[in-house]
Amino acid sequence: MEAKSDRSAWLKGPAFPCEVISTNVTRPWRIVLLGAPGVGKGTQAELLTRQLGACHLSTGDIFRTAKCLREDERSPAMTAALEYMRRGDLVPDTTVLQMVRERMSCLRCQGGFLLDGFPRTVAQAEALQNLLQEQNLTLDAVLDFELPIDEVVARLGGRRTCEACKAVYHVTGRPPKKEGVCNQCGGPLVQREDDRPESVRVRMEVYEKSTAPLTEFYRRLGLLVPVTAQSTAEATLERTMVALQSREQEASQSDKGAPSLVRGPA
């Protein structure tokens, strides 16, 4: 699949044309991505998009795009979600679900999908199962990227953000050419409050408590695939591909003639 950058149907809603073109994908993978802040889930989504040919569908991208659309371009669900966010409230499950339902054509993409940011609760997961069943679709796997909390603290604690252009650096992993100064605009680099070690640990505790019921839900369904996100992004991708290959081999034992795993260009 060649995925163009805007993914209009997903980002802007069903009134906009889809600009994702599926080519030579004979085995579509339909996958949910889970992972705490700092585990590198976004990087893995990019790598898996190229490797599997699946389309990266992020609900966070929808929210960010909605802020840039004119009022007459937003769907009722997008308008409602922005109003909750403007008040500082959580967007309720019903509104998020409606936003996803508006984009069912994207979930039916012949190249498959990597669903990122949804579901976040068991109620959303149950609703997703119902949506997919209505379309005679099933999830293939739920990838849960895991990383020890000390490594999450090190990754996020070393992150620095430009005050001016918001470019992101890391003191060891991606340092600026000049310490404390942005390469792009020369602005000062600062550590965000929620990237401080004490804040990161609190965020991790909240994430683990809120996500535990969701991971248990998918574990009971036999869909949960834990993936260690240590070392390099490429090593994590390799572990992910091995885990998916193993799942496909298990499935083929009970269903002879299932298509083999298709690897896109790395």
Is position 192 annotated as part of the catalytic site? yes
Q: Determine the Cα–Cα distance for residues 229 and 144; give it in Å rounded to an integer.
A: 9
Q: Which of 257, 66, 242, 230 is nearest to 145 (CA)?
A: 230
**Residue of 27, 50, 120, 247 with catalytic role:** 120
Q: Determine the Cα–Cα distance for residues 53 and 230; give it in Å rounded to an integer.
A: 24
**Residue of 4, 67, 166, 192 with catalytic role:** 192
3-state SS class at 89: coil
For 141, counting Cβ atoms within 10 Å of its Cβ (0-12 exposed, 13-18 middle, 19+ buried), the class is: buried
Q: Determine the Cα–Cα distance for residues 39 and 233; give it in Å rounded to an integer.
A: 10
Specify the DSSP class assigned to residue 88: T
- Give the Cα-Cα-Cα angle 1, 237, 183 (nearest 5 degrees): 90
Q: Diameter of the chain by CA atoms?
A: 59
Is position 155 annotated as part of the catalytic site? no
**Residue of 30, 159, 160, 239 with catalytic role:** 159
For the chain, strand residue ranges (E) read 2-3, 20-21, 29-35, 55-58, 112-116, 141-146, 159-162, 168-170, 189-190, 224-228
**Residue of 7, 12, 30, 41 with catalytic role:** 41
Residues with a known catalytic role: 41, 120, 159, 192, 203
